[in-house]
Amino acid sequence: MKIKSKAKYVLLFLIPHLLIYSFVQKIYQRNDYDFYTAADALIPFVPEFIWIYHTLIPVILFTTIILIKRKDCFFSSYIACLLAAGSLLIFYFLFPAYYPRGGLIEELTISEWLVNWTRVIDDANNTFPSSHVTFSWLMFLSVVNCDIAKRYSSLNIFYACWAILVSISTLLLKQHFIVDVGSGILLASLCYYLAKKISLSLYIKQNIP
Protein backbone atom coordinates (compact mmCIF):
# COMPACT_ATOMS: atom_id res chain seq x y z
CA MET A 1 0.00 0.00 0.00
CA LYS A 2 1.39 3.40 -0.99
CA ILE A 3 2.60 5.81 1.69
CA LYS A 4 0.58 8.69 0.23
CA SER A 5 -2.63 6.70 0.41
CA LYS A 6 -1.97 5.62 4.00
CA ALA A 7 -1.09 9.18 5.03
CA LYS A 8 -4.42 10.42 3.63
CA TYR A 9 -6.39 7.92 5.69
CA VAL A 10 -4.41 8.55 8.87
CA LEU A 11 -4.66 12.33 8.70
CA LEU A 12 -8.38 12.13 7.93
CA PHE A 13 -8.73 10.25 11.20
CA LEU A 14 -6.16 11.95 13.41
CA ILE A 15 -6.93 15.63 12.80
CA PRO A 16 -10.72 15.39 13.35
CA HIS A 17 -10.17 13.16 16.39
CA LEU A 18 -7.84 15.67 18.04
CA LEU A 19 -10.23 18.54 17.30
CA ILE A 20 -13.27 16.68 18.61
CA TYR A 21 -11.35 15.53 21.70
CA SER A 22 -10.30 19.12 22.47
CA PHE A 23 -13.85 20.37 21.94
CA VAL A 24 -15.32 17.75 24.28
CA GLN A 25 -12.69 18.60 26.92
CA LYS A 26 -13.82 22.23 26.89
CA ILE A 27 -17.60 21.78 26.84
CA TYR A 28 -18.07 18.68 29.00
CA GLN A 29 -16.41 19.47 32.29
CA ARG A 30 -18.11 17.17 34.77
CA ASN A 31 -16.84 15.06 37.64
CA ASP A 32 -19.50 12.44 38.30
CA TYR A 33 -17.00 9.65 39.02
CA ASP A 34 -14.05 9.66 41.41
CA PHE A 35 -11.49 7.01 40.52
CA TYR A 36 -8.79 8.33 42.86
CA THR A 37 -7.46 5.62 45.18
CA ALA A 38 -4.82 5.29 47.88
CA ALA A 39 -2.58 3.62 45.29
CA ASP A 40 -2.91 6.66 43.00
CA ALA A 41 -1.85 8.90 45.88
CA LEU A 42 1.36 6.89 46.33
CA ILE A 43 2.51 7.44 42.74
CA PRO A 44 5.14 10.21 42.56
CA PHE A 45 5.11 13.07 40.09
CA VAL A 46 8.00 12.70 37.61
CA PRO A 47 7.92 15.50 34.99
CA GLU A 48 10.71 13.95 32.89
CA PHE A 49 8.23 11.35 31.64
CA ILE A 50 6.52 14.10 29.61
CA TRP A 51 8.94 13.32 26.75
CA ILE A 52 7.71 9.74 26.58
CA TYR A 53 4.10 10.93 26.89
CA HIS A 54 4.48 13.09 23.78
CA THR A 55 5.87 10.31 21.60
CA LEU A 56 2.35 9.03 20.96
CA ILE A 57 1.44 10.96 17.81
CA PRO A 58 4.87 10.59 16.13
CA VAL A 59 4.79 6.84 16.76
CA ILE A 60 1.23 6.56 15.44
CA LEU A 61 2.25 8.36 12.25
CA PHE A 62 5.42 6.32 11.79
CA THR A 63 3.75 2.99 12.54
CA THR A 64 0.68 3.39 10.36
CA ILE A 65 2.20 5.31 7.44
CA ILE A 66 5.76 3.93 7.23
CA LEU A 67 6.11 0.69 9.16
CA ILE A 68 2.95 -1.24 8.28
CA LYS A 69 3.12 -2.27 4.62
CA ARG A 70 0.30 -4.73 3.99
CA LYS A 71 -3.13 -3.34 3.18
CA ASP A 72 -5.03 -5.74 5.43
CA CYS A 73 -2.76 -4.94 8.40
CA PHE A 74 -3.12 -1.22 7.78
CA PHE A 75 -6.90 -1.31 7.69
CA SER A 76 -7.12 -3.52 10.75
CA SER A 77 -5.12 -0.87 12.59
CA TYR A 78 -7.07 1.99 11.02
CA ILE A 79 -10.49 0.55 11.85
CA ALA A 80 -9.29 -0.19 15.39
CA CYS A 81 -8.32 3.47 15.81
CA LEU A 82 -11.74 4.58 14.58
CA LEU A 83 -13.48 2.19 16.97
CA ALA A 84 -11.28 3.34 19.85
CA ALA A 85 -11.88 7.03 19.14
CA GLY A 86 -15.64 6.55 19.06
CA SER A 87 -15.61 4.38 22.18
CA LEU A 88 -13.50 6.90 24.11
CA LEU A 89 -15.99 9.69 23.38
CA ILE A 90 -18.86 7.50 24.58
CA PHE A 91 -16.99 6.68 27.79
CA TYR A 92 -16.21 10.35 28.39
CA PHE A 93 -19.91 11.17 28.29
CA LEU A 94 -21.05 8.13 30.30
CA PHE A 95 -18.29 8.17 32.93
CA PRO A 96 -17.04 11.77 33.26
CA ALA A 97 -14.12 11.96 35.68
CA TYR A 98 -11.67 14.68 36.70
CA TYR A 99 -8.10 14.14 37.90
CA PRO A 100 -7.29 16.44 40.86
CA ARG A 101 -3.79 17.29 39.71
CA GLY A 102 -3.84 20.90 40.89
CA GLY A 103 -2.77 23.94 38.90
CA LEU A 104 0.38 24.68 36.97
CA ILE A 105 3.70 23.81 38.58
CA GLU A 106 6.64 26.13 39.14
CA GLU A 107 8.81 25.93 36.06
CA LEU A 108 12.43 25.10 36.76
CA THR A 109 13.27 22.74 33.90
CA ILE A 110 12.29 22.24 30.25
CA SER A 111 10.38 19.12 31.26
CA GLU A 112 8.32 21.07 33.78
CA TRP A 113 7.61 23.77 31.20
CA LEU A 114 6.39 21.07 28.80
CA VAL A 115 4.17 19.61 31.53
CA ASN A 116 2.57 23.02 32.09
CA TRP A 117 2.05 23.50 28.34
CA THR A 118 0.47 20.04 28.17
CA ARG A 119 -1.89 20.84 31.03
CA VAL A 120 -2.99 24.03 29.32
CA ILE A 121 -3.95 22.29 26.07
CA ASP A 122 -5.10 19.00 27.64
CA ASP A 123 -7.42 19.57 30.56
CA ALA A 124 -7.90 17.10 33.42
CA ASN A 125 -11.46 16.22 32.39
CA ASN A 126 -12.66 12.93 30.90
CA THR A 127 -9.88 10.63 31.97
CA PHE A 128 -11.56 7.22 31.70
CA PRO A 129 -10.15 5.34 29.80
CA SER A 130 -6.80 6.91 28.91
CA SER A 131 -6.56 7.69 25.19
CA HIS A 132 -2.75 7.65 25.40
CA VAL A 133 -2.81 4.13 26.82
CA THR A 134 -5.46 2.97 24.35
CA PHE A 135 -3.66 4.17 21.23
CA SER A 136 -0.19 3.11 22.38
CA TRP A 137 -1.39 -0.45 22.93
CA LEU A 138 -3.23 -0.35 19.61
CA MET A 139 0.07 0.40 17.92
CA PHE A 140 1.67 -2.52 19.76
CA LEU A 141 -1.10 -4.88 18.65
CA SER A 142 -0.92 -3.57 15.10
CA VAL A 143 2.78 -4.32 14.83
CA VAL A 144 2.86 -7.73 16.51
CA ASN A 145 -0.03 -8.96 14.36
CA CYS A 146 1.65 -8.04 11.07
CA ASP A 147 4.29 -9.90 9.09
CA ILE A 148 6.91 -7.24 9.78
CA ALA A 149 7.09 -8.46 13.39
CA LYS A 150 8.02 -11.91 12.12
CA ARG A 151 10.96 -10.49 10.15
CA TYR A 152 12.11 -8.19 12.95
CA SER A 153 11.28 -9.81 16.29
CA SER A 154 12.92 -6.96 18.17
CA LEU A 155 10.00 -4.74 17.12
CA ASN A 156 7.72 -6.72 19.42
CA ILE A 157 9.96 -5.95 22.39
CA PHE A 158 10.38 -2.30 21.39
CA TYR A 159 6.65 -1.64 21.01
CA ALA A 160 5.79 -3.55 24.18
CA CYS A 161 8.32 -1.50 26.17
CA TRP A 162 7.14 1.71 24.55
CA ALA A 163 3.46 1.03 25.30
CA ILE A 164 4.33 0.17 28.90
CA LEU A 165 6.36 3.38 29.30
CA VAL A 166 3.56 5.51 27.82
CA SER A 167 1.13 3.89 30.24
CA ILE A 168 3.46 4.57 33.16
CA SER A 169 3.96 8.16 31.99
CA THR A 170 0.22 8.87 32.30
CA LEU A 171 0.47 7.95 35.99
CA LEU A 172 3.78 9.64 36.81
CA LEU A 173 2.61 12.87 35.17
CA LYS A 174 -0.62 12.79 37.21
CA GLN A 175 -2.68 12.77 34.03
CA HIS A 176 -4.64 9.59 34.74
CA PHE A 177 -5.86 7.20 37.41
CA ILE A 178 -4.69 3.60 37.63
CA VAL A 179 -8.10 2.42 36.44
CA ASP A 180 -7.69 4.58 33.32
CA VAL A 181 -4.61 2.58 32.37
CA GLY A 182 -6.20 -0.83 32.82
CA SER A 183 -9.35 0.18 30.97
CA GLY A 184 -7.26 1.68 28.15
CA ILE A 185 -5.39 -1.59 27.60
CA LEU A 186 -8.66 -3.56 27.64
CA LEU A 187 -10.32 -1.14 25.21
CA ALA A 188 -7.35 -1.36 22.83
CA SER A 189 -7.51 -5.16 22.82
CA LEU A 190 -11.25 -5.25 22.18
CA CYS A 191 -11.12 -2.65 19.42
CA TYR A 192 -8.22 -4.30 17.62
CA TYR A 193 -9.65 -7.80 17.53
CA LEU A 194 -13.07 -6.48 16.54
CA ALA A 195 -11.41 -4.45 13.78
CA LYS A 196 -9.69 -7.56 12.43
CA LYS A 197 -13.04 -9.31 12.11
CA ILE A 198 -14.60 -6.28 10.42
CA SER A 199 -11.73 -5.85 7.94
CA LEU A 200 -11.89 -9.52 6.97
CA SER A 201 -15.67 -9.51 6.54
CA LEU A 202 -15.53 -6.46 4.27
CA TYR A 203 -12.71 -7.91 2.12
CA ILE A 204 -10.66 -4.77 2.66
CA LYS A 205 -7.70 -6.07 0.73
CA GLN A 206 -9.69 -6.53 -2.49
CA ASN A 207 -12.16 -3.64 -2.31
CA ILE A 208 -10.20 -0.59 -1.11
CA PRO A 209 -7.53 0.89 -3.41
* 70 within some domain: yes
User: Whole-angstrom Cα distance, residue 156 to residue 95?
Assistant: 33
98: β partners: 125
What integer pLDDT is reported at residue 112 of this predicted model?
A: 93
* 72 within some domain: yes
Has residue 209 got a pLDDT over 60? no
Q: How many residues does the chain have?
A: 209
Count the domains in the chain. Answer: 1
What integer pLDDT is reported at residue 206 of this predicted model?
A: 56
Has residue 202 got a pLDDT over 70? no
Range of the domain at 110: 3-23+37-98+106-207
* 87 within some domain: yes
* 135 within some domain: yes
Average pLDDT, the chain: 90
